[in-house]
Structure 1
Amino acid sequence: MLPRIIGWAIVLGTAAVAFVLVWPQALGLQNQWVAAHVVALRGPAAAAGIAAAIVFALIAIPRRSRRFGIAMATVLALFAAGNIAVLAVRGTGSAEAARAATSDTVTVLSWNTLGEVPDAQTIAMLALDEGADVVVLPETTDPLGEAVAIAMREGGSPMWVHTQAYDDIAKARSTTLLISPDLGSYTVTSAESPGPPGNTNTLPSVVADPVDGDGPRIVAVHAVAPIRWELRNWRSDLDWLAAQCEGDDVIMAGDFNATLDHFAGHGTDGGDLGRCSDAANAADSAALGTWPTEVPPLLGSPIDHVLATPGWTVEGFRVIDDLDGAGSDHRPIVATLSRG
């Protein structure tokens, strides 16, 4: 009798944990230790669930452990199915982003360069090929940003360069934003020192506002990763980024180190983060991972985003996976947005 009670206690406990890890938002645990990491990697979580279900199905073969094995296999199969269902709803569409064609259309490219591993020519050629009006480069210093801008100017697309750096020791402590002069003149309004109310905590973001007030606020994002000793700063970064997107006209892009699951509870007026909505989600591509490049997109984590306020419509979104050998551990993303 006691072994049976213990067995069912294990099954019920596993079922409770599985439910929390599939949809921690139900209990407000999406930004807590362990749960935050599992939902960030739903593809591997589903694969692990399937593998474990198979193991317990094999355990069920001997008659004495049949009920326990079947029960555990069922729970783990449902865990895998739940993650697969979420990925299916978010979509794996791969339609290319439309090119900017009018003054009311903006193409945004974002690529975390892993401390400037891809060279300026590679970044510039990608931006030119995609017709980018805005280029967001986390972990990129001002000199490389200037080199990219020069290469783009030579390719017929001049750009203004704006960089925020917390120090010159680590390239990860710099974020560079390139903006086409066609969008007007911009000035950086985010603070040069870390932490709210002026910036993200550990790694810098760049907030650029139009000088004449005509045009979108553009935010180049780099939130810290949710490693154990940075969890508080990570949560604070998401709060601060949501606050930057409370206006009427905002475009945000970069490395958020967060997925749609982690955005839960940070949206207002129907937005995913503040009033901003995720372009990948709108384009049914939000299941495609952007990090790390060592695994296929469906096994990666979609932590790089382009978001915009309701005045913008997503014309296309794409995770670019043909530059996985360029050296960065992040894939570039590109989105095309239009007014209305």
Structure 2
Amino acid sequence: MFKLLGWVLTLALAAAAVATLDPARLGLSTVTPVAQAIAMRPYLVAGFVVGGAVVLLPILVAALVGRRWPRVTLLSVVMLAVGLGHAWVLYDRGLGDDPLPAARDGAVTVLTLNTLGGGASVEQVTAAAVDVGADVLALAETSESSARAVATVLTERSGTQFQVFVEATGPWDASSTALLISAGVGEYAQAQAPETAHGAVRAEPVSGEGPAFLSVHPRSPHAPGPAMDRWRADLDAATDPCRTESDLIVAGDFNATLDHAPMRDIGVCVDAATEAGVGGVATWPAHMPRLIGAQIDHVLLDGERYVVDAASVLDVGESDHRAVVAQISPAS
């Protein structure tokens, strides 16, 4: 009886470990604490590989004296395999770190960054934008005054006017989201955006030709209860245009990875970083090494109308986020 219970427990633990590879398939990716855990795949890699190795070591020692622990052996092998599975997901999304090439003719360069309310200063943001030749900037936690200051410096340095669109839901920079668009991309007007806790900004081409741009910042899933409820609602709202529209580019701090269900079902959209082979590089927290953390900042684009020429993940100032930059061209 005890032997049977031991096998049942072993198989249950093994199944739970395997389930961490794709909790969205089981409807668990937006539930506490799975939502928080799956966002940090690098930690799952380390946890399962180290845990499996620690469990396996005494098994190998016991085998030398003729003892066999089949249940523990199975569990350790499963843990090691799951750890390698998590590592493969990150590798498959891309861990590239090459600098951006020069943008090709007709490409639009989009930069998204959570500036941490000035953690990345106006000078640091504009320096990064000039360096990569950004045409569009989606800036979370950025006040209107900071956004206009960035636009002013960019206009001076590039010689091209930048249009500024801002939406704030509160008095703090954390509740303000900005969108800057170069006049070289076209003339844009602010349009109705999804309602989210930290604001979202949408701009559409006045001529009716060209993509709509949407800068988003859903609330973080930092605690059970209302915060999680609002995160799920915000994330659905931020990604819904991809499921219901075409010819758009959505960028920002999504506070979610491609492992969370709403980011798995993004309609016509594709993730620029993954398309360009840098989707496994962490964008938060920026003080940790680039391969340790969560990939929660994204540039999503209509994959039927546009292609990603290149993308990069950049450190900018003292923000706790890294910037994602994508060069996007019309599909031929």
Is this a same-fold pair by TM over 0.5? yes
Change (3 A) 1:266 1:86: closer
Give 5+ residue unaligned stretches, structure 2: none
| 1:225 is the counterpart of 2:228 | no
Q: Structure 1 residues 68, 224: CA separation in 2 closer, same or farther (over 3 Å shift)?
A: same
Aligned to 1:241: 238
Cα distance, 1:329–1:20 mapped onto 2, change above 3 Å: same
* Match in the other structure for 1:120: 122
SS in 2 for 1:22: coil
Return the letter of the residue paired with 2:306. W
What is the identity, as a one-letter code, of the residue corresponding to 2:259? D
Alpha-carbon distance between aligned partners in 1 of 2:306 and 2:283, rounded to the nearest angstrom? 23
What is the rounded CA distance, in whole Å, between the counterparts of 2:214 and 2:55 in structure 1? 48
Which one is further off, 60-69 or 249-258?
60-69
Rounded to whole Å, the distance in 1 between the matches of 2:255 and 2:133 is: 26
Q: Could you tell me which amino acid in structure 1 is paired with residue 30 of structure 2?
A: N
1:307 and 2:305 correspond:
no
- Aligned partner of 1:215 among 205, 210, 219: 210
Distance 1:265 1:338 in 2: 22
Q: Are 2:295 and 1:296 aligned?
A: no
Matches within 5 A, 1:155-194: 155-156=157-158, 157-168=160-171, 170-190=172-192
Match of residue 328 from structure 2: 337
Q: Is the CA contact (8 Å cut-off) linking 1:58 and 1:69 kept in structure 2?
A: no
Q: Deviations over 1:116-135 (max 9, x none)?
A: 21111111011011100001
Matched residues in 2 for 1:43 and 1:280: separation? Answer: 17
Question: Which residue, out of 278, 281, 285, partners 1:285?
Answer: 278
One-letter amino acid of the counterpart of residue 182, structure 1? G
CA 1:265/1:28 → structure 2, altered by over 3 Å: closer, same or farther? farther
Distance 1:111 1:221 in 2: 11
1:107 alignment counterpart: 109
Task: Please give the alpha-carbon distance, in whole angstroms, between the structure 2 residues aligned to 1:265 and 1:123.
Answer: 27
Residue 195 of structure 1 corresponds to none
| DSSP 3-state at the match of 1:260 | coil
Asked whether the equivalents of residues 27 and 261 of structure 2 are also in contact (C-alpha less than 8 Å), the reply is: no
| C-alpha distance in 1 between matches for 2:86 and 2:262 | 16
Instruction: Compute the displacement of 1:151 (Å).
Output: 1.2
Q: Identify unmatched segments of 5+ residues in structure 1.
A: 192-197, 268-272
Q: Which residue matches 1:317?
A: 311
Distance across 2 between alignment mates of 1:333 and 1:94: 12
Matched, 1:18 2:17: yes
Q: 1:263 to 1:173 in 2, by over 3 A?
A: same
| Structure 1 segment 254-293 matched on structure 2, within 5 A | 254-263=252-261, 267=265, 273-293=266-286
Contact 1:59 1:69 in 2 (8 A): no
Give the CA deviation at 1:59.
3.9
Shift of 1:266: 5.4
Structure 1 segment 25-44 matched on structure 2, within 5 A: 25-44=24-43
Alignment partner of 1:199 is 2:201: no
How far apart are 1:55 and its partner, in Å? 2.0
Counting matched residue pairs gives 322
Report the AA paired with residue 247 of structure 2: D
Q: How far does residue 111 in structure 1 lie from its aligned partner after superposition? A: 0.8
User: For 1:164-212, what per-residue CA distance to the aligned partner results, in whole angstroms no more than 9, with x for missing partners?
Assistant: 00111x2110011111011222222135xxxxxx422x11111111122
Looking at structure 2, the residues matched to 283 and 101 of structure 1 have their Cα atoms a distance apart, in angstroms, of 15
Measure, in 1, the Cα distance between the counterparts of 2:161 and 2:48. Answer: 49
Aligned letter for 1:226? P
DSSP-derived class of the 1:115 partner: helix
Counterpart in the other structure of 1:270: none
How many angstroms apart in 2 are the aligned matches of 1:216 and 1:123? 24
CA drift of 1:265 comes to: 7.2
Provide the residue aligned with 2:145 in structure 1. 143
Contact map agreement 1:95 1:316 (CA 8 A) in 2: no
SS in 2 for 1:286: coil
TM-score w.r.t. length of structure 1 = 0.89
Length-normalised TM-score, structure 2 = 0.91
The alpha-carbon deviation at position 259 of structure 1 amounts to 1.1
Report the CA distance between 1:335 and its aligned residue. Answer: 0.3
State the 4+ residue runs in structure 1 displaced beyond 6 angstroms. Answer: none
Q: Does 2:323 align with 1:328?
A: no
- Counterpart contact for 1:24–1:30, Cα < 8 Å: yes
Alignment-mate amino acid for residue 316 of structure 1: A
Question: 1:174 is aligned with what amino acid?
Answer: S
State the distance in 2 between where 1:215 and 1:179 align: 12
